[in-house]
Chain A
Amino acid sequence: MKEVFVLAEHRQGELRDVTFEMLAKGMELSQKTDTDLTVVLLGHNVEKFAKKLTDHAKRVLVIDDARLENFNAETYQKVLTHLISERKPTLTLVGHTAFGVDLAPSLATELDLPLATNCIDISFEGEKLVVVRQVYGGKVNVKASLRKSESYIVTLRPATFEAKGTKPQGGEVIKIAPPFSDDITYKRFIEYFQPPAGDVDITAADIIVAVGRGIKDVDNMSIVEKLAEAFGGVLACSRPIVDKGWLPNDRQVGTSGKTVKPKLYIAIGISGQFQHISGMKNSDLIIAINKDPKAPIFRSADYGVVEDLFEVVPTLSDRLLEGKR
Chain B
Amino acid sequence: MNIIICVKHVPETAEAEIAIHSSGKKIKTEDLVFDINEWDNYALEEAVQLKEKHEGSVTAITVGSEAADSTLRKCLARGADKAIRLTDKAFEGSDSYVIARILHKVIQDLPFELILTGAQAGDDGYAQVGVVLAELLGIPHATMVKKVEPLKGFVKVNRELEGGLEEIMEVKLPALLATQTGINEPRYISIMGIRKAMKKEIQVLSLKDVGLTEEEVGESGSWITVEKMFIPPVEKKAEILTGGVDEITTKVVETLRGKGLI
Q: Which residues of A contact B (CB under 8 A)?
A: 11, 16, 70-74, 96-99, 101-102, 104-106, 108-110, 114-118, 130-131, 133-147, 185-195, 207, 213-214, 231-232, 239-240, 242-245, 249-250, 252, 255-259, 263-264, 271, 285-288, 291-294, 296, 298-307, 311-312, 315-316, 319-320, 323
Contact between chains at B237 and A299 (CB < 8 Å): yes
Decide yes or no: A109 and B125 within 8 Å by CB, A142-B229, A252-B164 being known contacts.
no
Alpha-carbon separation in the docked complex, A220 to B122 (Å): 25
Interface of B, secondary structure class, is mixed
A256 surroundings in chain B (CB, below 8 A): 160-164
Provide 24 A-B residue pairs closer than 8 Å at the C-beta atoms, listed in order of the A residue: A98-B143, A105-B127, A105-B131, A108-B223, A116-B223, A133-B124, A137-B14, A140-B18, A144-B226, A147-B224, A187-B169, A188-B169, A193-B167, A250-B164, A256-B164, A292-B15, A296-B232, A299-B232, A299-B234, A299-B236, A300-B236, A302-B238, A306-B240, A316-B252
B250 surroundings in chain A (CB, below 8 A): 319
From A102, A136, A250, B141 is in contact (CB under 8 Å) with A102
Alpha-carbon separation in the docked complex, A98 to B141 (Å): 13
Contact between chains at A143 and B239 (CB < 8 Å): no
Alpha-carbon separation in the docked complex, A189 to B147 (Å): 15
Contact between chains at A186 and B171 (CB < 8 Å): yes
Alpha-carbon separation in the docked complex, A142 to B226 (Å): 7
- How many whole Å from A264's CB to the nearest CB in chain B? 5
- How many whole Å from A123's CB to the nearest CB in chain B? 12
For the complex, is B245 an interface residue (Cβ under 8 Å from A)?
Answer: yes
From A185, A302, A312, B245 is in contact (CB under 8 Å) with A312
A107 — nearest CB in chain B belongs to which residue?
A: B135
Contact between chains at B240 and A305 (CB < 8 Å): yes
Contact between chains at A114 and B223 (CB < 8 Å): yes
A109 surroundings in chain B (CB, below 8 A): 97, 100, 131-132, 135-136
- How many whole Å from B133's CB to the nearest CB in chain A? 9
* Residue with the highest number of chain B CB atoms closer than 10 Å, among A134, A136, A298: A136
A71 surroundings in chain B (CB, below 8 A): 167
Contact between chains at A115 and B238 (CB < 8 Å): no
For the complex, is B33 an interface residue (Cβ under 8 Å from A)?
Answer: no
Alpha-carbon separation in the docked complex, A69 to B216 (Å): 39
For the complex, is B241 an interface residue (Cβ under 8 Å from A)?
Answer: yes
Contact between chains at A191 and B168 (CB < 8 Å): yes
Alpha-carbon separation in the docked complex, A255 to B144 (Å): 13
- How many whole Å from A134's CB to the nearest CB in chain B? 7
A145 surroundings in chain B (CB, below 8 A): 224-225, 227
A293 surroundings in chain B (CB, below 8 A): 240
- How many whole Å from B172's CB to the nearest CB in chain A? 4
B124 surroundings in chain A (CB, below 8 A): 133, 135
- How many whole Å from A188's CB to the nearest CB in chain B? 4
For the complex, is B228 an interface residue (Cβ under 8 Å from A)?
Answer: yes
Contact between chains at B168 and A304 (CB < 8 Å): no
Q: A213-B14, A243-B182, A319-B252 are in contact. List 10 more A-B contacts (CB 8 A).
A: A134-B232, A142-B227, A142-B229, A186-B171, A195-B164, A243-B181, A258-B164, A271-B14, A304-B240, A307-B245
B226 surroundings in chain A (CB, below 8 A): 142-144
From A108, A134, A242, A305, B182 is in contact (CB under 8 Å) with A242
From B17, B127, B222, B225, A117 is in contact (CB under 8 Å) with B127
For the complex, is B230 an interface residue (Cβ under 8 Å from A)?
Answer: yes
From B27, B97, B132, A140 is in contact (CB under 8 Å) with B27
For the complex, is B166 an interface residue (Cβ under 8 Å from A)?
Answer: yes
From A139, A191, A323, B262 is in contact (CB under 8 Å) with A323
Mark contacts of B219-262 with chain A using CB atoms, 8 A cut-off: 1 yes-contact digit, 0 otherwise.
00011111111111011111111000110111011011101011
For the complex, is B201 an interface residue (Cβ under 8 Å from A)?
Answer: no
Alpha-carbon separation in the docked complex, A243 to B160 (Å): 13
